[in-house]
Amino acid sequence: MKMKKMMLPAAISAVTLALSASAMAATWKMATGDAAGGTQYELGTKFAELIEEKTDGDIKVNIFPNSQLGSEQDTVNNASMGMLDLSIVAINNITPFSPTVGVLTLPYVIQSAEDAKKLTQGEIGDQMTENTIRDAGVRILGWAYSGCRRLTNSVKPVATPEDLDGLVIRVPKNEIMIAAYQAWGVNPNPLAWSETFTALQQGVVDGQDNPYITIDAMKFYEVQDHVTDSCYVFSLEPLIMGEGQFQSLDPEMQQAVLDAGKEATEHSFEYLLETEADIKDKLVNEHGMTITEPANDEKEWIEQATQIWPDFYDSIGGKEKLDQALEALGREPA
Ligand code: MLT
């Protein structure tokens, strides 16, 4: 009897431990808008591998590529409401929910992978995370670096903004990107990413812009012939988790998630540097795309598009936010 009494608390705590371990074990669903094979998938698979390793297999991640779980903007909502564990989306698809991140999509602010790294991994990146938690209920855990967005189309080589005349270009549902095309003299067609390939295939639109790695992953070379080697926006693709879900994790697990995100981000940066040039070559040599250099080192594109900056000072939180980004990049204030 005495023996039984003594064993009872130990037995209870063993059961409790077993229960809490199994409550912790989970398989998280991660959405990506892009098909498998691009930078989103690379970041996602790296994060999945790291979190599984850091939690001794308690957390596994299943990736659902190609917008299977909804459009990128839908997945931001779903993660925020706790209906989806993780999603990787282009930054332009977070801006409608948290307009201050728009500073990262203002045309010609970020001009290289190094610029992108400086803005996402320093103080400005931390501010973006705080702002998306506050405005959109999602936490940025990591970043995929996908490269400059290049204009593609199925009709003709485009070297100047005037060459856009007569082309119907798809843009994300993002006010800044719509305004950039308007500054170049055309009215673009805002469409969800999940609808873009079909719209290009059916000729509803003639062109779109996205990085080389994305053009390849999405097989856009099957429906697009020409690429302009422009760099008006650098494609950043955050990995997000609903803040409610993050806060429900114990501190150790939160740290594992943050560490996995950080390490996966480093991996994404290296992946871009290692693969982008080869993918560009492949688009030309294997898939027959033609590449056109923007005329005059992109001068007209830059002059016209940067005129829209002041229209977005309010939404990004004031001109000082842009100046802070430019200063971090070693450039003059706007
Ligand atoms: C878009 O064009 O909507 C996005 O950049 C696509 C993506 O997530 O790769």
The pLDDT assigned to 112 comes to 96
Ligand 1 atom with minimal separation from the 174 CA: 3
ipTM of the complex: 0.95
Ligand 1 atom with minimal separation from the 218 CA: 9
Q: Has this prediction a pTM greater than 0.95?
A: no
C-beta 93 within 6 A of ligand 1: yes
Angstrom CA distances, 213 to 62, 209, 216, 219, 302, stand at 22, 12, 5, 10, 23
Ligand 1 atom with minimal separation from the 38 CA: 9
Ligand 1 atom with minimal separation from the 72 CA: 8
Helix H or strand E segment including 115: helix 113-121
The pLDDT assigned to 206 comes to 98
Mutate to test the pocket of ligand 1, among 72, 191, 196, 268 (most ligand atoms within 8 A of CB): 72
C-beta 72 within 6 A of ligand 1: yes
The pLDDT assigned to 7 comes to 36
The pLDDT assigned to 170 comes to 98
The type of residue at 201 is Q
93 Cα–ligand 1 center, Å:
7
The pLDDT assigned to 36 comes to 94
The pLDDT assigned to 122 comes to 86
194 Cα–ligand 1 center, Å:
9
C-beta 216 within 6 A of ligand 1: no
Q: What is the DSSP string of 68-102?
A: TT--HHHHHHHHHTTS-SEEE--GGGTTTTSGGGG
177 Cα–ligand 1 center, Å:
12
C-beta 214 within 6 A of ligand 1: yes
171 Cα–ligand 1 center, Å:
9
Shortest CA distance to 207 belongs to which of 229, 190, 224?
224
C-beta 193 within 6 A of ligand 1: yes
72 Cα–ligand 1 center, Å:
8
Site of tokens 């189309």: 153
CA 297 to chain centre: 27
The pLDDT assigned to 1 comes to 31
Kindly give the interhelix angle for 113-121 and 123-136, rounded to the nearest 10 degrees.
Answer: 60
Site of tokens 């070297």: 159
16 Cα–ligand 1 center, Å:
45
297 Cα–ligand 1 center, Å:
25
Shortest CA distance to 70 belongs to which of 44, 126, 31?
31
The tens-digit pLDDT sequence of the chain (334 residues) is 333 333 333 333 443 444 344 446 899 999 999 999 999 999 999 999 999 999 999 999 999 999 999 999 999 999 999 999 999 999 999 999 999 999 999 999 999 999 999 999 989 999 999 999 999 999 999 999 999 999 999 999 999 999 999 999 999 999 999 999 999 999 999 999 999 999 999 999 999 999 999 999 999 999 999 999 999 999 999 999 999 999 999 999 999 999 999 999 999 999 999 999 999 999 999 999 999 999 999 999 999 999 999 999 999 999 999 999 999 999 999 9
C-beta 90 within 6 A of ligand 1: yes
Residue nearest to atom 4 of ligand 1 (CA): 90
195 Cα–ligand 1 center, Å:
11
Ligand 1 atom with minimal separation from the 32 CA: 8
Residue nearest to atom 5 of ligand 1 (CA): 90
Residue nearest to atom 8 of ligand 1 (CA): 90
